[in-house]
Structure 1
């Protein structure tokens, strides 16, 4: 059996890496399972170099479709056209997609139209917010996938609600956590640690990337001002996208405790997260990592597709109301943050379970 693994953005490779490791393991034991890794090139990132793949201990992709840039529609079209041509000369038995980026949806559509089975890792997650492009990607991908590998019982129930048969749903856990647990001993202190004289549990990490938060000038300024004013004397480390940095410069946002730094590698960034007093974010994946590392986290969104990080974990869904942000920051600084627990099957063995199921599909 030959599987084509699809990744389009950095977080996708974190989800794919343990699956590759698990395939290598069973190949060493004599399995005939084979794979190819296709990078759609959806996100261009100068840090996506050979060093990045070395960090994750995976080979560089067999193919880069270089389909980045343009509008959502242009990008979707470019990925579909190039992946279709790739499949014509590189036949496969199964296309495995992960997460909820444009590549996930585009490659699932192409595969199904070529009559190739599709497996969706992280199937069934929902924010129920159709203003998020990712939610559309999830809905479309789940509507046409053949097999679903899920991270939670909530995801299982979401799939049942749309009529997915029980035998197609495989509750396996979270491959992002496989990567986190494997790489935790290798976390690397960034240079800025000594430069900023950071101290364990005495600084905040801030990440913002959602267009609804960073593209609206007034909203972005209000959010950052509120976080600064409610964070006592704590330094705030803010790895910032160049586009957001330009907006911050335009708005004249600056403060001695706000340290805007370039985007960081996986091992350095998680070194910071693991030692932070609190993470303030609008990301989904980071809330999973903070849950496992038992780091308080507040999400500046009204919805989350990862409710288990709130019900089980250390994450709180705060929204973007400045008064609510102030209240939750006070809660953190008073030492009253909840103690989370580990969601079911987030044990570092998810990829092994996925690959075991894939080998059975071959029989």
Structure 2
């Protein structure tokens, strides 16, 4: 049986990988290995390993990489710990193929260890650009260490080939997150209220804001501007979900808590809602606000508008339901005005989704299952004609 190892280190990426993990687990010709790490093992980030276990998946290995300090030096230390821990896992479990999704520094470390240990890598969501974050470099680095590539649209597939990857190993399969929404029974608003213990008796915003690691304005200044804009909507409620483990994430999380203390009846702060409650909240909310990729991928699939702040997602293809703005109070307010407008609302239901294909998880699983791995480590650079 082919041993397929799936790596997960964050709540967001696990939510995307969940159906693929299920497909691999239920295939009698495949053996699932689950490597869990990163923020899944951090209590202040929601200890989301419990969500994985509630889904019926027991990790083969948990690798704690010591995410106790989100300064640049602290993250560098965690990266060193990660490469060492993942290398030990590969030596013990010897997977035939490793599946990695996205662009996080933890994922980069896992791909690095696999490269040294001669484990072929299958990379999901390569070819994209996020010009406001260091994740841009991590994503493209993973692409160069990967051997099978699963892009979410044709433009990204072509970019991976442009980077020198062999066309026959690059697939346009659509986005797992969009497919998940089509297959998941989301909660009604009443059930969501009970699950989170927060009354949603007014229109509400769903806010997820992460540090934009390459932008000129500090993440603290940017988040201050967002909070100032939210102050102008006292007739709306707010659900804040926690920032990720990038440098500055803890500062943003503390700012959320401070805002909650000043507005206890208006807002809810949670480290992680989990994929079901998060998507259910997205479906019910007035607008998704922040700089998370979920506003680019999942929100359009639910026909929910999103306001994308700053450059963190700059370069990504987006649906018309996404309104971009600067990380400044007046620009955010202008975006909110557009979204509340009659013309925008009337067009929302007919806006197209650029990342949707049927059977995404199953197609990825079948390729992982049937791909010829003989000599796949001997990569040849594919030159394109200018």
Deviation at residue 85 of structure 1 after TM alignment? 1.2
Question: Using a 3 Å threshold, how does the CA distance of structure 1 residues 98 and 251 change in structure 2: closer, same or farther?
Answer: closer
Please state if 1:358 is matched with 2:365: no
Residue equivalent to 1:39:
36
Name the residue aligned to 1:52: 51
Alpha-carbon distance, 1:15 to partner: 2.5
Residue 74 of structure 1 aligns to a residue in which SS?
Answer: helix
What is the root-mean-square deviation of aligned Cα atoms in Å? 2.9
| Mapped contact 1:303–1:317 kept (Cα < 8 A) | no
SS in structure 1 of the partner of residue 121 of structure 2 = strand
Structure-2 residue corresponding to 1:244: 252
Displacement of 1:103 in angstroms is: 2.2
How many Å separate the matches in 2 of 1:346 and 1:185? 20
Q: 2:335 aligned with 1:328, yes or no?
A: yes
SS of match in other structure, 2:240: strand
Secondary structure at 1:184 match in 2? coil
1:290-343 CA-to-partner distances (Å, cap 9, x unmatched) read 1111101111122526733x2x35212222133322221111222332422222
Q: Classify the secondary structure of the residue corresponding to 1:220.
A: helix
| 1:14-25 aligned within 5 A | 14-25=15-26
Residue of structure 2 aligned with 1:95, choices 91, 94, 98: 98
Maintained 8 Å contact 1:178/1:350: yes
Q: How far off is 1:149 after superposition?
A: 0.6
Instruction: After TM superposition, list the pairs within 5 Å mapping 1:290-329 onto structure 2.
Output: 290-304=299-313, 307-308=316-317, 310=318, 312-329=319-336
Gap runs ≥5 in structure 2:
244-249, 374-386
- Among residues 76, 80, 84, which one is paired with 2:83 in the alignment? 80
* TM-score for the superposition, normalised by structure 1: 0.85
| Number of positions where the alignment pairs a residue of Structure 1 with one of Structure 2 | 350
CA distance 1:24–1:49, change in 2 (3 Å): same
Aligned equivalents of 2:49 and 2:107: distance in 1?
23
CA drift of 1:14 comes to 1.5
**Residue 269 (structure 1) aligned with residue 245 (structure 2):** no
Among 107, 111, 115, the residue aligned to 1:112: 115
Aligned to 2:298: 289
Structure 1 contact 7–103 (Cα < 8 Å) conserved: no
Relative contact order higher in (CA < 8 Å, ≥ 6 apart): 2
Q: How many Å apart are 1:68 and its aligned residue?
A: 3.2
- The answer to whether 1:184 aligns with 2:192 is no
**Alpha-carbon deviation of 1:253?**
8.5
- CA distance in structure 2 between the partners assigned to 1:208 and 1:198 by the alignment: 24
Deviation at 1:48, TM superposition (A): 3.4
Shift of 1:272: 1.8
Gaps of 5+ in 1: none
Give me the whole-angstrom Cα distance separating, in 2, the residues matched to 1:275 and 1:186: 9
In the TM superposition, what are the counterparts of 1:79-228 in structure 2 within 5 Å? 79-129=82-132, 132-185=133-186, 188-191=191-194, 195-199=198-202, 202-210=203-211, 216-228=219-231
Is the 2:149–2:171 Cα contact (8 Å) retained in structure 1?
yes
Separation in 2 of the partners of 1:257 and 1:326? 22
Superposition deviation, residue 189 in structure 1: 1.0
**What is the TM-score with the length of structure 2 in the denominator?**
0.81
- For the 8 Å contact 2:99–2:122, the answer to whether it is kept is yes
Task: State the shift of 1:358 in Å.
Answer: 1.4
Q: 1:334 to 1:256 in 2, by over 3 A?
A: farther
| Cα shift at 1:136 | 2.0
Q: Give 1:190 deviation, angstroms.
A: 3.0
Cα distance change on mapping 1:175 and 1:77 into 2, 3 Å = same
Distance 1:336 1:233, change over 3 A: farther
